[in-house]
């Protein structure tokens, strides 16, 4: 047998072996067979194609790219190369590989179906959702096979990501749990969290029922439901139901899902709930959220949010690291440079380094280009806050007045007026309000400012100027208000008051538009006001006689204020009402005079005797131990008899002796009561 025949027989045998291994999905043995074929003949492109498929099925994407770089005889390897780059998390390279085949989106319809499916996935990873949605719409229109449900689910996922931009369609089907879940995500993107919560609970029930019908295990069901519960927890958190959200997040972490992106999102949201509490636990969770494995699966918006939350956590956990981490955030996410700068200024302000914080913000403001006016405005507001915290009101006023036309914003006007009044500069506050009113009159329209904000500002300006004695300026504000609120009689009355101070004729003309007094108050209202007890003293209420109609007075002459029939019946019923007798003591005896000392304390009654304290020796017992003169002095009976038998003679002080005795007795009754029940130190009572 010749060499060519031997080679052909060997190739035939190897192809048979390769076909058998591919049919049994034994890709390692199939790869060995393909390598043998390529070793015998490098032009065998079918074997090379099988080698690429085996490498892809084995997850060896880097070897696929290396094999293609060496050059092969395979006719078209666009799909294999782009797919390998996509799986290696290089979507930009994969997009360029496919773009080399076509000349723009207008030719995407001419791609092979597998390349269209792959391109849609690449566009989704690149977050070009509008182009991705249009491509999926084309694929679904032109393709009909067993994967239609997956394509519809992917298209609804793209629509959910478009919800925040307002370009998402709202008529997507919801007949599967995936479609219902994506519809709920779209509602959450539009901040309709209540409706999103309802759809997520429906999706959870549909998911469980569908998987149970397919015979899935409980572990697989929980793994599929976890992502729905995490999204539900997010909706609850945004509605302020933090405890319910925390419980769902904890369950998701306890399940230990293999989805790194889901774990990162849960960890980040728990850190947000913790805020400045449980900092140690938050740092562990943030370490999981910022891992490389998670970053590959997260979208750019999610990565940016997690990075900034990590920086905010550093503000609470380790303020010294804020300066280092700010530079990293600015390099990775340039759009977060300003937010990182604010955190650094906050760290300096917390350490009372206000001058350094102000210099930091002023230096950043000088570097800002003219097209970033919104960011410059935020910097200036941050400077005002720092200046106020430092106690420098004048500098804060200067910063606000340097805002140009932005200083006529209602909030800025209010701040300036408050600061000027705090410095007792009423003239400057009045000038701020006057210039703001004039500016809005020139603008004719409030631009982005609502009419409600302007109305409130004009009301405050009118009241301020009326109190400050500037009726002309107040009248201008009230005139502007009446243009938008022509039926507000309170404003019209204020305008009449303002006109009356400098233009009486116009005040008289304006007062004609006020309603008549008869339309504002009626006779019945006047009677009701006069009948209210809180408007009169009790004596006037008793004297007042209600009449059948008209006003009543205190005059009781007949014919004025005649009571009605109902009122007469009430008076008769009141007169017939019997007076209830008072209660008598239980031991009361009729006809016996009560004790006149019944209201006196016991120790002040005549028959009260003090208990003797045996431990205290009696100092005075009769005449023992005292002189005779002293005994007479303390014997009150003698003094009483003497005054009784002799006429009252004025003493040296002008007070009779009997009055002295009475005063002494009264003074004795007014002495404070001594504690009669002292506890003995020993023995029985």
| CATH code for the domain of 59 | 1.25.40.10
Q: What is the pLDDT of residue 243?
A: 93
Burial environment of residue 80 by CB neighbours within 10 A (0 to 12, 13 to 18, 19 or more): buried
Mean pLDDT of 480-505: 76
Q: Specify whether 429 is located in the same domain as 385.
A: no
Is residue 676 assigned to a domain? Answer: no
- Pick the closest to residue 35 from 9, 69, 72, 4 (CA basis): 72
- Output phi, psi for 71, to 5 deg: 95, 130
- Predicted confidence (pLDDT) per residue in 356-392, tens digit: 999 989 888 888 887 788 888 888 999 999 999 988 9
- Predicted confidence (pLDDT) per residue in 613-634, tens digit: 555 554 544 444 444 455 555 5
- Predicted confidence (pLDDT) per residue in 301-324, tens digit: 899 899 889 888 888 888 878 777
Burial environment of residue 308 by CB neighbours within 10 A (0 to 12, 13 to 18, 19 or more): middle
Q: Specify whether 390 is located in the same domain as 359.
A: yes
Mean pLDDT of 239-261: 90
Q: Specify whether 354 is located in the same domain as 460.
A: no
Is residue 288 assigned to a domain? Answer: no
Is residue 412 assigned to a domain? Answer: no
The answer, yes or no, to whether residue 524 has pLDDT greater than 70, is: no
- Output phi, psi for 624, to 5 deg: -75, 135
Q: Specify whether 348 is located in the same domain as 432.
A: no
Is residue 369 assigned to a domain? Answer: yes
**Which CATH number fits the domain that encloses residue 481?**
1.25.40
Q: Specify whether 89 is located in the same domain as 33.
A: yes
Q: Specify whether 399 is located in the same domain as 451.
A: no
At 635, the pLDDT band (50, 70, 90 cuts) reads low
Is residue 572 assigned to a domain? Answer: no
Q: Specify whether 38 is located in the same domain as 100.
A: yes
Least confident of 25-34, 198-207, 327-336, 375-384: 327-336
Domain of 370 in residue numbering reads as 319-403
Q: Specify whether 24 is located in the same domain as 143.
A: yes
The answer, yes or no, to whether residue 588 has pLDDT greater than 80, is: no
Q: Specify whether 26 is located in the same domain as 151.
A: yes
In this structure, how many other beta carbons lie within 10 angstroms of the beta carbon of residue 625? Answer: 11
Tell me the β-bridge partners of 621.
624
- Pick the closest to residue 121 from 139, 107, 101 (CA basis): 139
Q: Specify whether 390 is located in the same domain as 493.
A: no
- Predicted confidence (pLDDT) per residue in 531-556, tens digit: 655 545 555 555 555 444 444 444 44
At 456, the pLDDT band (50, 70, 90 cuts) reads low
Mean pLDDT of 495-508: 79
Is residue 347 assigned to a domain? Answer: yes
Q: Specify whether 151 is located in the same domain as 69.
A: yes
CA dist., res. 209 & res. 327, Å (int): 50
Number of domains in the chain: 3
The answer, yes or no, to whether residue 612 has pLDDT greater than 60, is: no
Which of 462, 495, 524 is the endpoint of a domain? 524
Is residue 626 assigned to a domain? Answer: no
The DSSP code for 624 is: B
- Predicted confidence (pLDDT) per residue in 215-225, tens digit: 889 988 999 99
> Would the pTM count as exceeding 0.75?
no
Residues 6+ apart with CB under 8 A from 35: 51
Mean pLDDT of 478-482: 73
Please indicate whether residue 620 or residue 182 has the higher confidence score (pLDDT).
182
Is residue 590 assigned to a domain? Answer: no
Q: What is the pLDDT of residue 202?
A: 94
Q: What is the pLDDT of residue 232?
A: 95
Q: Specify whether 126 is located in the same domain as 42.
A: yes
Q: Which two tokens stand for residue 623?
A: 């005449």
């Amino acid at each position: 047998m010749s060499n060519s025949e031997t080679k052909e027989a060997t190739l035939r045998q190897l192809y048979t072996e390769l076909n058998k291994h591919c049919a049994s999905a034994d890709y390692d043995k199939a790869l060995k067979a393909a390598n043998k074929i390529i070793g015998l003949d490098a032009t065998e492109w079918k074997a090379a194609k099988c080698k690429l498929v085996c490498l892809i099925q084995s997850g060896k994407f880097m070897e696929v790219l290396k094999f293609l770089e060496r050059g092969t005889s395979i006719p078209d390897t666009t799909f294999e190369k782009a797919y390998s780059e996509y799986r290696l998390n290089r979507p930009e390279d994969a997009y360029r590989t496919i773009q080399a085949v076509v000349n723009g989106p207008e030719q995407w319809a001419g791609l092979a179906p597998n390349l269209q499916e792959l391109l849609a996935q690449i566009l989704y990873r690149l977050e070009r959702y509008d182009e991705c949605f249009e491509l999926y719409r084309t694929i679904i229109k032109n393709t009909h096979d067993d994967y239609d449900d997956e394509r519809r689910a992917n298209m609804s996922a793209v629509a959910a990501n478009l919800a925040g931009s307002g370009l998402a369609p709202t008529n997507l089907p919801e007949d599967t749990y995936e479609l219902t879940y994506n519809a709920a995500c779209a509602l959450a993107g539009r901040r309709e969290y209540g409706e999103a919560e309802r759809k997520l609970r429906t999706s959870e029930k549909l998911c469980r029922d569908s998987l149970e019908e397919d015979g899935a295990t409980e572990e697989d069901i929980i793994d599929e439901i976890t992502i729905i519960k995490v999204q539900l927890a997010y909706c609850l958190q945004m509605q302020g139901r933090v405890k319910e959200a925390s419980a769902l997040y904890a369950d998701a972490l306890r399940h230990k899902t293999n989805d790194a992106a889901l774990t990162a999102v849960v960890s980040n949201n728990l850190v947000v709930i913790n805020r400045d509490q449980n900092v140690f636990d938050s740092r562990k969770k943030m370490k999981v959220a910022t891992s490389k494995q998670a970053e590959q699966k997260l979208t750019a918006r999610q990565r940016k949010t997690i990075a900034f939350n990590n920086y905010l956590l550093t503000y609470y956990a380790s303020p010294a690291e804020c300066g280092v981490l700010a530079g990293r955030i600015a390099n990775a996410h340039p759009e977060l440079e300003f937010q990182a700068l604010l955190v650094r200024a906050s760290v300096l302000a917390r350490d009372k380094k206000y001058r350094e914080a102000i210099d930091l913000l002023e230096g950043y403001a000088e570097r800002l280009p003219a097209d970033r006016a919104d960011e410059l405005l935020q910097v200036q507001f941050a400077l005002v806050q720092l200046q106020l915290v430092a106690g420098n009101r004048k500098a804060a006023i200067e910063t606000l007045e340097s805002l140009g036309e932005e200083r006529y914003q209602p909030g800025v006007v209010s701040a300036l007026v408050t600061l000027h009044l705090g410095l007792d500069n009423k003239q400057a506050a009045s000038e701020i309000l006057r210039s703001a009113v004039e500016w809005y009159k020139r603008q004719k329209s409030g631009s982005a400012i609502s009419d409600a904000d302007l109305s409130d500002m004009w009301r405050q300006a009118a009241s301020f100027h009326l109190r400050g004695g500037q009726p002309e300026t107040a009248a201008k504000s009230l005139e502007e208000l009446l243009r938008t609120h022509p039926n507000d009689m309170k404003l019209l009355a204020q305008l009449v008051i303002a006109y009356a101070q400098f233009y009486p004729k116009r005040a008289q003309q304006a007062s004609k538009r006020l309603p008549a007094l008869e339309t504002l108050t009626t006779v019945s209202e006047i009677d009701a006001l006069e009948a209210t007890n809180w408007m009169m003293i009790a004596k006037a209420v008793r004297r007042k006689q209600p009449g059948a109609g008209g006003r009543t007075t205190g005059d009781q002459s007949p014919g004025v204020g005649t009571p009605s029939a109902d009122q007469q019946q009430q008076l008769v019923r009141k007169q017939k009402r019997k007076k209830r007798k008072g209660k008598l003591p239980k031991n009361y005896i009729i006809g016996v005079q009560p004790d006149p000392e019944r209201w006196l304390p016991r120790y002040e009654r005549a028959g009260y005797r003090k208990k003797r304290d045996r431990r205290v020796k009696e100092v005075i017992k009769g005449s023992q131990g005292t002189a005779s003169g002293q005994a007479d002095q303390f014997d009150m009976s003698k003094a009483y008899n003497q005054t009784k038998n002799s006429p009252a003679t004025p003493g040296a002080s002008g007070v009779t002796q009997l009055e002295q005795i009475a005063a002494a007795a009264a003074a004795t009754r007014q002495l404070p009561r001594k504690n009669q029940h002292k506890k003995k130190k020993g023995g029985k009572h």
